[in-house]
């Protein structure tokens, strides 16, 4: 689709409908974000998409894939961009760094900071930056500085930044991002913790970061020095059922071999959830209180029915010694809700099923409807006694802590940090 093929009135109409939908759904809450999303022509940054595709409120536009068909670049879905802009609270005159280029989001940022502000965008793929630079110039945003390079080092030449927005999935927070953030600056980043990605707004607090909000999201993963590959255990010896671990495998992954072929233990929690009700805090809660937390995925082409999760692609799971368990659901008398339950396999299946079920009940009683955990990022060498109470997730450059306002376990309600044998 070239610009000469576009009906400008139709584009404006669809852009207005997109913004109206995001305002109605609470994704856009400020007048500033609403104004810039009504102003910037999103379709100009997705020239290979139709107008309907470019302005679909909840769909990303994929702009590049690698030789294996894996998506490496995209124009993020409008609701994700609106959400992150609201988290960032960008104001006129600010200096902003965007990590992960595409053009459209940088144009939105340029509108928010105005002529007195500065926007720098960086991407590791020179094809992406060349495309972004061309599209920004064509749409009147040539003042945005486009840099080709590995964002692990940030862009020191234009630092410090009042805001840093990361628009690719990050497993860790490199020291350069914190060093280049202004003393009262804010970093908004889709951070992966135990396999769960949340867009978190972090405020700069001396030598560490303090999270102020977290929202569920999904992004193309970071490339270059910041790339991180999760590891997996195939519990049947084939690719049918995979347990994915984000921070290293269990000490003896072979102990799970064929555990799934033992009789299944079940424990139903009595905790119901509406079919459209979000339960993202349950995911983070289980990742906090279950040391063996992982994600189970079932290959639909190889599925023989050995397991029956409610979501075959992404199910919360955990391992313990020679057993593993996963969360599932079953219908209730209310057609609009389901009940959480646990299926477990292996030699300790009954005990593990009840352990997980008990934690689901604890979430229901203590955390449901709450704000979720307080998430902080501290330098990698920070001693344990200088970290807040809670779960510690160690990464290459940082120590991420998750602290809940109510105690999650019986003995001081905090799961101590347990290093894995094959982690970072």
Active site (catalytic) residues: 76
Structure tokens at 344: 């477990």
| Cis before 160 (ω within 30) | yes
CA distance 374 to 140: 40
Cα separation, 342 vs 217, whole angstroms:
25
Tokens 């940054």 sit on residue: 45
Kindly state the DSSP code that residue 43 receives in the 8-state scheme.
G
**Quick check: helix, strand or coil at residue 41?**
coil
Q: Which residues partner with 190 through β-bridges? A: 199
Identify the DSSP state of 42.
G
Strands (E), 85-175: 95-99, 118-123, 145-148, 161-166
Distances from the Cα of 209 to the Cαs of 19, 184, 225, 401, in angstroms? 32, 11, 21, 10
DSSP string, 205-271: ETTEEEEEEEEE---PBP-GGG----EEEETTSSSSEEEEESS---S-GGGGTTGGGSPPEEEEEEE
Q: What is the DSSP letter of 417?
A: P
- Side-chain half-sphere CA neighbours of 337 within 13 A: 11
Cβ–Cβ < 8 Å for 340, 327 = yes
Query: CB under 8 Å to 38, separation ≥6 — which residues?
Result: 15, 16, 19
Distance CA 175, CA 154 (A): 9
Q: Is the separation of the CB atoms in 206 and 190 below 8 Å?
A: no
DSSP single-letter state for residue 170: B
């Amino acid at each position: 689709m070239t610009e000469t093929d576009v009906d400008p009135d139709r584009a404006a109409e669809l852009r207005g409908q997109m913004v109206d939908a995001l305002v109605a759904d609470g994704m856009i809450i400020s007048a500033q974000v609403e104004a810039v999303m009504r102003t910037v022509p999103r379709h100009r940054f997705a020239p290979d998409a139709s107008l309907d595709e470019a302005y679909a409120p909840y769909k990303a536009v994929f702009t590049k894939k690698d030789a294996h068909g894996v998506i490496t670049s995209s124009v993020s879905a409008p609701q994700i961009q609106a959400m992150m802009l609201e988290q960032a609270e960008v104001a006129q005159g600010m200096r902003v760094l965007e990590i992960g280029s595409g053009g459209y989001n940088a144009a939105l940022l340029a509108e928010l900071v105005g002529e007195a502000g500065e926007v720098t965008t960086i991407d590791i793929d020179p094809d992406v930056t060349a495309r972004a630079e061309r599209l920004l110039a064509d749409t009147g945003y040539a003042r945005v500085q486009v840099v080709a390079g590995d964002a692990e080092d940030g862009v020191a030449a234009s630092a410090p930044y009042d805001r840093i927005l990361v628009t690719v999935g990050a497993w860790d927070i490199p020291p350069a991002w914190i060093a280049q953030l202004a003393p009262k600056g804010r970093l908004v980043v889709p951070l992966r913790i135990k396999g769960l990605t949340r867009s978190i707004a972090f405020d700069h607090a001396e030598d560490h970061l303090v999270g102020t909000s977290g929202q569920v999201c999904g992004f193309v993963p970071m490339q270059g020095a910041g790339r991180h590959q999760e590891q997996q255990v195939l519990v049947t010896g084939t690719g049918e059922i995979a347990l994915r671990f984000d921070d290293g495998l269990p000490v003896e992954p072979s102990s799970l071999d064929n555990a799934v072929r033992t009789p299944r233990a079940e424990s139903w929690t009595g905790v119901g959830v509406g079919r459209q009700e979000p339960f993202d805090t349950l995911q983070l809660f289980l990742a906090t209180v279950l040391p063996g937390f992982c994600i189970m995925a079932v290959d639909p082409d190889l599925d023989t029915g050995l397991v029956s999760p409610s979501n075959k692609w992404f199910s919360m799971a955990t391992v313990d010694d020679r057993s593993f368990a996963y969360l599932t659901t079953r219908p209730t008398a209310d057609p609009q809700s389901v009940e959480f339950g646990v299926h477990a396999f292996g030699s300790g299946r009954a005990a593990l099923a009840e352990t997980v079920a008990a934690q689901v009940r604890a979430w229901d009683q203590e955390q449901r409807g709450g704000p979720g955990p307080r998430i902080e990022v501290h330098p990698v060498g920070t001693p344990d006694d200088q970290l807040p109470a809670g779960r510690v997730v160690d990464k290459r450059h940082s120590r991420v802590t998750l602290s809940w306002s109510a105690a999650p376990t019986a003995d001081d309600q905090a799961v101590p940090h347990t290093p894995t044998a094959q982690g970072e």
